[in-house]
Structure 1
Amino acid sequence: MSVSPVLRAAVRADVPGIAVLMRRSVLDVFPRFHDERATAAAARYLTEPDTVLIDDGTYFVHEADGQLVACGGWSKRDKLYTGSGATPSDDRVLDPATEPARVRAMFVRGDWTRRGLGRAILARCEQAARAEGFRALVLMATLPGVPLYRSFGFRELSRIDVPLPNGIVLDGVSMEYPLSRRQPGDPAPAR
């Protein structure tokens, strides 16, 4: 019998497990979309846990039987994705009235895909960002994540080359999700 995963906020003690999960996810899922060199580069450069997200309380994990099987979160800071290189504005807190929150570092272990774990994390991100006053979410998707984000309601803004430090370039998709949509139970707009 399979254990149902539990979604919870990540804590600092999860960092080693998150790193293992991220790498395993890339090695399991990326080969369906990328060649061996691109997969190896992604496993090296896109799988560094961002402890700022954990410290901010905006990063989540799904845990099943003591193992992390999915992770992801959102950020109220300027950094868009791991592997983008450090910039002076990475830690700048975004203005929710004028800037979108960022969905960050979404990974699901290959043997746990297509079970709603990524969708549950996105729903938690949406709820939390909306509660903080943000009007939209944005993200930089790698190709394995695009189907999930589209099915959740994100729309493609543009295709972007994502250069990694070793010169490999991944295909990326800049995507946006408006948070202005009515929620179940919200009153109908006045006419």
Structure 2
Amino acid sequence: MTLWRIRATVDDRPGYLSVLTASLALRGVNILTVQVHTTEVGAVDDFLVDAPDHLNEADLLAAVERGRGRDCWVARSEARGLADQPTRVLGLATRLVLDPDATGEALRALLGADAVAWRPVPVGARSRVGAATMLLADPTGGSFELRRAAPSFTPAEYARAQALVELAATVARRSADQVTLLLPDGSELLVRPATVDDLPGVVELHEACSARSRQRRYLGGAACPSAPRLRRLLEPARGVTLVAQSAGSGGEAESVVAMANLLAEGDEAEVALLVRDDWQRRGLGTALLRRLAGRAERAGYGALVLHTQAENAPMLRTVARLDRPATTERDGSLVSVTVPLAVDPARAGRAYGPVSLPGPRRP
């Protein structure tokens, strides 16, 4: 028996796929896996089959045509084709997490492309998927161009490939965003974007903070937030969370000592800080707030908003150290500080997705 890959378009109507599979079965062809790619011209069925040794490419093409398949492509396959497609995609995703520079190789392996090239030109209004060419937008700028003589690319393959490119860009951005912060007292900290994997360390941070610090951060009770709430804060839908980790004697990151949140809503970004008590009054809060302000500005948000208690003088001093104009509104014991940001429309939305730039308010 010999492994073959067969791809053919079949009318997306009840019973048509069974006609094709019956035609293959009459010739002793065993279907091992099948993927269905929905397109505007019908369902593109991608089979991995085990066929008798006496059947050749012409025999399989004839069997598909008799089974009402069209635009057929047939090629020999290897044993690695037996790997489950979702498992292969997850394996490639893992490779990109470890090495985001391997995007081109991952795309070639995913789609069996004949050529993969990165170009500094954005995709723009050009068609993103054609029969032999696929264009993928690189979130960091530019685009990837893939070419494959056969079989034709499908929309489903485009969606998988674009998802891999976006994953690689996210990993690369996170790596670039990781910095070593030197405080005025000489202490070194690792500051980076948070992930859900930081949940245990963030829980420990909250448990190590005093009740007063937690109450100032959440403007309510002093109890530790629930794990689901902390998980949402670590990876917000729009915005970013930074964590600061102390450095061990060998330079490796240790415990989480601070968390800084930037949560976006509309054209404004709300910020909040939690610094472990023994790390307060050392310049850490100011450094984190400045990084959040820079991120919000690059993402195109119009203003930073911070809510704190009127008696929280340390936080108000931290905001003042930004050296930016700000407006303050007081409602009882609550103070809201708004810091306008300089928006560059050409860069707006690149960091966290499309955002609305400040504009006239409707009455």
Q: Same fold (TM over 0.5)?
A: yes
Q: Which residue is equivalent to 2:244?
A: 62
* Coordinate RMSD, CA, aligned: 3.2
Query: After TM superposition, where is structure 1 displaced by more than 6 Å over at least 4 residues in a row?
Result: 45-48
Q: Which residue is equivalent to 2:315?
A: 145
Contact 1:74 1:101 in 2 (8 A): yes
Larger-Rg structure: 2
Mapped to 1, the partners of 2:240 and 2:281 lie a distance apart of: 23
Q: Which residue is equivalent to 2:221?
A: 42
SS in 1 for 2:223: helix
Work out which of the residue numbers 221, 231, 245 in structure 2 matches 1:51.
Answer: 231
Mapped to 2, the partners of 1:26 and 1:153 lie a distance apart of: 29
Mapped to 2, the partners of 1:158 and 1:45 lie a distance apart of: 28
Residue 103 of structure 1 pairs with residue 271 of structure 2: yes
C-alpha distance 43-30 of structure 1, shift in aligned 2 (>3 A): closer
Q: Which runs of 5+ in 2 are unaligned?
A: 1-185, 249-253, 345-363
Contact 1:73 1:122 in 2 (8 A): no
Contact 2:194 2:242 in 1 (8 A): yes
2:258 aligned partner, one-letter code: A
1:72 aligned partner, one-letter code: A
C-alpha distance 109-28 of structure 1, shift in aligned 2 (>3 A): farther
Mapped to 2, the partners of 1:42 and 1:150 lie a distance apart of: 26
Percent identity over the alignment is: 26
What does the per-residue CA deviation read over 1:153-172, in whole Å, with 9 as the maximum and x for residues that have no partner? 463522234xxxxxxxxx32
Mapped to 2, the partners of 1:174 and 1:45 lie a distance apart of: 23
Mapped to 1, the partners of 2:343 and 2:300 lie a distance apart of: 13
Q: Which residue is equivalent to 2:205?
A: 21
Q: How many residues align?
A: 144
SS in 2 for 1:180: coil
Q: Which residue is equivalent to 1:158?
A: 329
Q: Which runs of 5+ in 1 are unaligned?
A: 34-38, 78-93, 162-170, 183-191
Mapped to 2, the partners of 1:149 and 1:26 lie a distance apart of: 22
Mapped to 1, the partners of 2:286 and 2:255 lie a distance apart of: 19
Deviation for aligned residue 1:6: 0.9
Deviation for aligned residue 1:3: 5.4
C-alpha distance 19-146 of structure 1, shift in aligned 2 (>3 A): farther
Mapped to 2, the partners of 1:134 and 1:51 lie a distance apart of: 24
1:22 aligned partner, one-letter code: H
What does the per-residue CA deviation read over 1:135-163, in whole Å, with 9 as the maximum and x for residues that have no partner? 210011132522212232463522234xx
Deviation for aligned residue 1:7: 0.7
Contact 1:137 1:179 in 2 (8 A): yes
Mapped to 2, the partners of 1:160 and 1:47 lie a distance apart of: 28
Deviation for aligned residue 1:23: 4.4
Work out which of the residue numbers 261, 266, 274 in structure 2 matches 1:73.
Answer: 261
What does the per-residue CA deviation read over 1:35-71, in whole Å, with 9 as the maximum and x for residues that have no partner? xxxx9x6321668754334224600011003111111
- Greater RCO structure (CA 8 Å; 6+ sep): 1
1:17 aligned partner, one-letter code: G
Mapped to 2, the partners of 1:25 and 1:47 lie a distance apart of: 15
Contact 1:60 1:73 in 2 (8 A): yes
Mapped to 2, the partners of 1:16 and 1:160 lie a distance apart of: 35
Deviation for aligned residue 1:28: 6.1
1:44 aligned partner, one-letter code: A
Mapped to 2, the partners of 1:153 and 1:18 lie a distance apart of: 29
Mapped to 1, the partners of 2:307 and 2:282 lie a distance apart of: 22
Mapped to 1, the partners of 2:223 and 2:261 lie a distance apart of: 20
Contact 2:298 2:343 in 1 (8 A): no
1:158 aligned partner, one-letter code: E
